[in-house]
Amino acid sequence: MTLTSWKKFTANISMHRVVVLLLIIAVLYAARGMMNTILLTFIFTYLIVHWIRLLQRFVPHLPPVLIVIVTYILLILGLYYVVTDYLPLLVEQIVKMVDSLIKFYQSPDMKTTLQWVNRYVSNGTIISQAKHGMQLAVSTLTSLGTLTFAFVMSLILSFFYTIELRQMNEFSRQFLSSKSLGWFFNDLYYFGKKFVNTFGVVLEAQFFIAICNTVITMICLTFMHMPQIFALGLMVFILSLIPVAGVIISLVPLSMVAYSVGGWRYIAYILIMVVVIHAIEAYVLNPKFMSSRTELPIFYTFVVLLVSEHLFGTWGLIVGVPIFTFLLDIADVKPIGKATAPTSAIKSDD
pLDDT in tens, 175-205: 888 888 888 889 889 888 888 877 777 777 7
Q: What angle do CA 96, 99, 105 make, to 5 degrees?
A: 140
- Rounded Cα distance between 25 and 197, Å, is 18
Mean pLDDT for all residues in the chain? 75
The stretches of the chain forming alpha helices (DSSP H) are: 3-11, 13-30, 35-58, 64-106, 108-120, 123-163, 165-176, 182-223, 229-240, 246-262, 264-280, 286-294, 298-312, 316-330
pLDDT of residue 347: 41
- Rounded Cα distance between 32 and 288, Å, is 29
Cα–Cα nearest to 72, from 48, 36, 46: 48
The answer, yes or no, to whether residue 227 has pLDDT greater than 50, is yes
Task: Give the Å distances, CA to CA, from 89 to 104, 190, 254, 274.
Answer: 22, 49, 11, 20
- Rounded Cα distance between 44 and 28, Å, is 19
Maximum distance among all Cα pairs of the chain, rounded to whole angstroms = 87
- CB count, 10 Å around CB of 119? 6
Read off the DSSP letter of residue 107.
S
Cα–Cα nearest to 282, from 197, 213, 211: 213
121 exposed, middle or buried (CB, 10 Å; 0-12, 13-18, 19+)? exposed
The answer, yes or no, to whether residue 302 has pLDDT greater than 50, is yes
The answer, yes or no, to whether residue 222 has pLDDT greater than 60, is yes
- Rounded Cα distance between 23 and 19, Å, is 6
The residue with greater pLDDT, 347 or 183, is 183
* pTM of the complete model beyond 0.85: no
Contacts of 271 (CB under 8 A, 6+ apart): 251, 255
Q: What amino acid occupies position 181? A: L
Read off the DSSP letter of residue 226.
-
Task: Give the Å distances, CA to CA, from 29 to 25, 32, 97, 190.
Answer: 6, 5, 42, 20
Contact 186, 298 (CB under 8 A): no
Range with lowest mean pLDDT among 124-133, 152-161, 224-233, 340-349 = 340-349
Contact 161, 46 (CB under 8 A): no
Q: With H, G, I as helix, E, B as strand and everything else as coil, classify residue 128.
A: helix
Residue 242: left (phi > 0), alpha (psi -120 to 50), or beta? beta
Range with lowest mean pLDDT among 148-162, 193-207, 213-227, 231-245 = 231-245
The answer, yes or no, to whether residue 345 has pLDDT greater than 50, is no
- CB count, 10 Å around CB of 169? 13
The residue with greater pLDDT, 203 or 69, is 69
> Quick one: average pLDDT of 16-42?
85
